[in-house]
Amino acid sequence: MSRPPRILNPWHWDVPLAALTGLIAVLMLNANLSLFLGLNRLHLWTGDLFWAYVTMLGDTLIAFIVCLPLVRRWPQVVWAGLLAGLLATLFVHGLKPLFALERPASALALDQFHIIGRTYLVLGFPSGHSATAFTLVGVMVLHLDESWRRWLGIPLIGLAALVGLSRIVVGAHWPLDVLGGVVGGWLAAVFGTFWARRWPWGATPMGRRSLTVLLIGCGLSGLLYYKTGYPQTDLGRQILALFCLGWTGYQLCVEHSIGRAGSR
């Protein structure tokens, strides 16, 4: 991975501009309800379990756990992700009470659509899971070398978009909520990346150690007791946390062995 390129790179702005254009189009066409009802039926093709696992990937703690295997080799990426996550949190939790919009379960009869997992009623805009997914993917994409970005950029964005779509399929958010989360999440990734370049504390030895301890704590939380609101994914959450903890433990053991060999 490398430092992100110039500020006018289209990878920085095309995603939020596309999402903002989609948001305006949905508003102008008054298509929020019809889109929601159509997309919410996608569970009929796949079953509930698939979408529960996809939406789990947008959980903030799960995103931290996913970053754990990266922290030893690419601490600058994890540091940028942490700063971007702070910006995304301010965006999401600043706008939610400001707009105070109802979620589908408050606006529609429950027999009109399908709910997977926990039922949410209020504070719908913007979607926090969508913002988290696009923040994490945005930071990763912006740190990839140009050659790798050509191969991985679109698939990673597609994965984040699938997480956003899952918020509609599980009945938690309107399409407008998701599009708002995409805008905020990607812009948080852009500005978090710029911020991390100007303040590279996370890439220092102390920062790297601190990030490792923080993310190990997240991994242990995810393994032992954390609940995502989708109980059908509990086993998968624990397996993911155990894998990330184990991989990081292996990395630390290798580093320790190399350090001992180098000191002889």
- Indicate whether 182 pLDDT > 80: yes
CA-CA distance, 212 to 256, in Å (whole number)?
15
- Residue 229's H or E segment, with its range, is none
| Residues 90/130, Cβ–Cβ less than 8 Å | no
Q: Kindly state the tokens that stand for 13.
A: 């702005």
| Residues 243/223, Cβ–Cβ less than 8 Å | no
pLDDT given for residue 5 in this prediction: 46
Per-residue model confidence as pLDDT tens digits over 123-158: 999 999 999 999 999 999 999 998 899 899 999 999
pTM of the model: 0.94
| Residues 117/103, Cβ–Cβ less than 8 Å | no
Closest CA to 33 of 109, 91, 97: 109
pLDDT given for residue 147 in this prediction: 87
pLDDT given for residue 51 in this prediction: 98
Of the listed ranges 4-8, 179-183, 184-188, 228-232, the one predicted with least confidence: 4-8
CA-CA distance, 43 to 50, in Å (whole number)?
8
| Residues 116/43, Cβ–Cβ less than 8 Å | yes
pLDDT given for residue 258 in this prediction: 83
**Mean pLDDT computed over every residue of the chain:** 94
pLDDT class of 169 with cuts at 50, 70, 90: very high
Q: What is the DSSP letter of 102?
A: P
